[in-house]
Amino acid sequence: VTRVSLPAPDAFAALPATRRRIVAAAVDAFARRGFHATTTRDVALGAGLSPAGLYVHYASKTALLAEVSRIGHEAALGLVAAELGPQAPPGPAAERLRRTVETFTSWHARHHLVARVVQYELTALDPDDRADVVRLRREIEALVEAEVRRGVTDPHTTTRAVLSLCIDVARWYDPAGREAPDDVGRLYGTLVLRMLGASHQEDP
């Protein structure tokens, strides 16, 4: 994993100011109304621009979705690679996996609007952009599956269950609720270690 990948909102912070405003307006509109029901005019207004002003930066609504999806997936991969990739700090395997689930879960709570767009609008991407995103998703799955594989009979579907549990936080998470993103992350870290059974039990 050689890509530079920072967690959002840092990843968005790396964009030039106007693009950052456009992307934020797009995330908000896509998450609330869905990609198909949003017009470029909606996004331009949300960013305080004219439609022509938006086209200077993004050639189409689909190009804008591709940018959100790319940044969101790179941020998610960055989190997972930091714990499970070649540069990850050494330590007990169960702790590595626990930290991965914690950060991946709390990211989906904290950035639930970005995550909803990224997860629910995959089919609206152009084929090339979708292929890029599928590659990023496979990298995430491969890193987690390499950890899960030890001692589990169905590592592929079990890996998908682990990631699915974390990702679905973006659907139900309510920032007005009583749980902070890190609270959900901590509980899920424990639940996943138990779910994986004896070979991944918490270190004694």
The residues that touch a second copy, with contacts defined as CB under 8 A, are 32-37, 119-120, 123, 154, 157-158, 160-161, 164-165, 167-169, 171-172, 179, 183-184, 187-188, 191-192, 194-197
For residue 70, the minimal CB distance to a second copy (Å) is: 20
For residue 35, the minimal CB distance to a second copy (Å) is: 7
Nearer to a second copy, 48 or 197 (CB): 197
CB 74 within 8 A of CB 3: yes
For residue 156, the minimal CB distance to a second copy (Å) is: 9
Nearer to a second copy, 95 or 168 (CB): 168
Nearer to a second copy, 77 or 196 (CB): 196
Terminal CA-CA length for the chain: 32
Separation between Cα atoms, residue 166 and residue 161, nearest integer Å: 9
**In this structure, is the dihedral angle defined by the CA atoms of residues 167, 134, 73 and 37, taken in order, positive or negative?**
negative
For residue 89, the minimal CB distance to a second copy (Å) is: 27
Exposure pattern of 46-75 as b/e (b: 16+ CB <10 Å)? bbebeeeebeebbeebbebbbbbbbbbbbb
H or E element at residue 51: helix 51-55
Nearer to a second copy, 82 or 143 (CB): 143
For residue 38, the minimal CB distance to a second copy (Å) is: 8
CB 113 within 8 A of CB 27: yes
Angle between the 93-110 and 127-148 helix axes, to the nearest 10 degrees?
Answer: 140
Nearer to a second copy, 50 or 201 (CB): 201
